[in-house]
Amino acid sequence: MVDTLSPAQRSERMSRIRSNSTKPEMALRRALHRLGFRFRVQGTGLRGKPDIVLAKYTTVIFVHGCFWHRHPGCKVATTPKSNTQFWTEKFSRNVKRDERVVKQLEDEGWRVIVVWECEVNALSKAASVAEGIAKVLRSGRPGDD
């Protein structure tokens, strides 16, 4: 497929893609809040700037976009037809960075939960995912007394 936009138009469009407080993030935050969880958003002092920080539970949550973070098996995680080498390298760097950040946070004692955009793209789905997260959080961590 040929890109029908000029470089300036493409740049303008790409600049409108939000990096935080996306609809999936907001849906999950609302669902967690309804369940009584209180949290910080955009953990600025933490590696990778997690989307949701539940300090009481030493847990961080990333809400990853399926396209940008390459959700395995997801229909949204496609590679653009133009400039494929650039996109392949870009996606590879994103995935490696995600893996590195998760490992670093875990090494620092954080429990890391990754939620995919397609799992919370509807409010009902977000509520279900939030209930699953709540179950994990309330069950404690192995070794906690």
Question: Which domains, ranges and CATH numbers included, belong to the chain?
Answer: 9-133 (3.40.960.10)
Which residues in the chain come in under a pLDDT of 70?
1-2, 14-20, 141-145
Nearest CA-CA partner of 102 in 35, 94, 41, 117:
94
pLDDT of residue 16: 66
Tell whether pTM > 0.85.
no
pLDDT of residue 110: 95
> What CA–CA distance (Å, rounded) separates 140 from 117?
25
pLDDT of residue 18: 59
* 28-66 residue pLDDT tens: 999 999 999 999 997 778 988 999 999 999 999 999 999
| Angular region, 95: left φ>0, alpha ψ -120 to 50, beta rest | alpha
pLDDT of residue 121: 84
H or E element at residue 9: helix 7-15
In this structure, the number of other CB atoms found within 10 A of the CB of residue 98 comes to 18
